[in-house]
Chains A and B, each alone.
Chain A
């Protein structure tokens, strides 16, 4: 691999890693707060991408503007999904049953996407779709840069919400000791609902970023959920910084391996990392003793 190719792959990996980090943050949030395995996370991601594409098709406006609608919409849908579906599961079997429940939700979304917009592949066409900027011999597509910036800003916002707001402290407390949280007066059911909404809002942002740069089709979400699940296990379930770091590392690794191995085999790095983590350090590499560090 030449130096220029290496640099190019590295930059692409970092840009992709940013998007993975945002999506994995949402996924690990559901697990941390509610012990929910949210298989439908990436289906919502693709739904948001479709909404961005449709918004652009219909209005001719920049698909980024669809965020104004999809982020609040997904937040509300997430809150409702937690309060009316997930919270109905019995606490004792919540984690396993949530796999089935959200699997069904994912299939439903995929089916609806195919029903409404057919299985045809879709792609957003913009004036800046082909544009790129060149820095030190590395060419960076503008859309990838925008996607990365979106992810970085959202992750930063998520961090600030969790760290600096009263709701964030309540959410972290609920993650770390639900009973004690209830006993100091935190309405943990409401916090769980809002946490779920927050997680789904990250899917809305991620989906919009995805729509800028990817060809989308209804079953695309299956390509995303595997790597994302692997990332949150490697990072330590429930740990947002862990998820972000694992996403960045594995995103870069996958991007670098694409050159010698090709796209398909490069994806296996996620599963390899998953197997290694489960063998060596099942609590994850960045998760701390309880995998609840923020």
Chain B
């Protein structure tokens, strides 16, 4: 995998100021016990960072904290040098974070065009919107081909492309992807990871959460192994894939519960 430079940057925070940095984040839901217990993770420019770990490790919660859906109880979220801890999803969108949630999230009874253009809901300049629509249809040709179709009528993999295109309409610095391969067949899964790399190559950093750890690490530059609300190991994705202990602990067995 030709991703050594990116991973070297990401694993050495001093080299490049990261686009997204979560520091010692503690977070949980309601009165229940904490899900994240002092989690730290960084995403460097033009890199794909993948969080892997068992069910209940807090993978999705990391993304919810980063995009403002969940306010952390402690810790810091910094986007491109600006502290954005505790801001609303709208403010974080403006700061450069775009979140694609788990499962199907297209607006099924709207056309692909309406879906993609709604991605620029917070943008008001029509010429900018048109320019970005061109950009995303260039990146995801299928989106242009099915422009007038109802989004709900597309296959799962195609819907993911619409979601990716929609999330790029704000030209985010970092895209947060929550289990993009969930519910897809192996072929569509392969395509999704191809598109993740395409987003990275087009200049958008990606923070990815995946159940399908092995497949995701193959597409990522940096891997972080999460367990019990903390990052235990961070390293270049190929290194993690090659580590026999990790393979046995996290990449081998099939998870029993469904999130």
Interface residues of chain A, those whose CB is within 8 Å of chain B, are 166, 169-170, 172-173, 176-177, 179-187, 288-290, 292-294
Contacts and interface: CB of A to CB of B under 8 A. Distances in A.
Interface string B41-79: 000000000000000000000000001010000000000
11 contacts: A172-B109, A177-B105, A177-B107, A179-B105, A183-B99, A183-B101, A185-B93, A185-B170, A186-B121, A290-B108, A292-B109
B90 interface: yes
Given A185-B122, A185-B170, A290-B109, 12 more contacts: A169-B114, A170-B118, A172-B109, A172-B110, A177-B108, A179-B101, A180-B101, A180-B163, A181-B107, A182-B69, A185-B121, A294-B109
Given A169-B114, A170-B121, A185 B109 contact: no
Nearest to A290: B108
Contacts of A172: 107, 109-110
Interface in B98-117: 98-101, 105-110, 114
A294 B150 CA distance: 12
B64 to A, nearest CB: 10
Given A169-B118, A173-B118, A185 B89 contact: yes
A87 B61 CA distance: 25
Contacts of B89: 182-183, 185
A173 B107 CA distance: 6
B166 interface: yes
Contacts of A182: 69, 89
Contacts of A288: 109
B223 interface: no
A173 B105 contact: no
Contacts of A173: 107, 110, 118
Contacts of B98: 183
A88 B67 CA distance: 24
Contact of B108 (A176, A183, A186, A187): A176
Most chain B Cβ neighbours within 10 Å, of A172, A180, A181, A183: A183
A166 B67 CA distance: 23
A185 B108 CA distance: 18
Contacts of A180: 101, 105-107, 163
Contacts of A292: 108-109
Interface centre among A169, A185, A289 (most CB of B within 10 A): A185
A40 B114 CA distance: 33
A288 B152 CA distance: 11
A202 to B, nearest CB: 21
A273 B56 CA distance: 46
B121 A289 contact: no
Contacts of A170: 118, 121
B188 to A, nearest CB: 20
A186 B110 CA distance: 16
B77 to A, nearest CB: 16
A115 to B, nearest CB: 43
Given A169-B114, A169-B118, A289-B152, A183 B109 contact: no
B157 interface: no
Nearest to B93: A185
B99 to A, nearest CB: 5
B156 interface: no
Nearest to A179: B101
B180 interface: no
Contact of B166 (A179, A184, A186, A290): A184
A110 to B, nearest CB: 36
Contacts of A181: 107
Contacts of B93: 183-185
B121 to A, nearest CB: 5
B119 interface: yes
Nearest to A182: B89
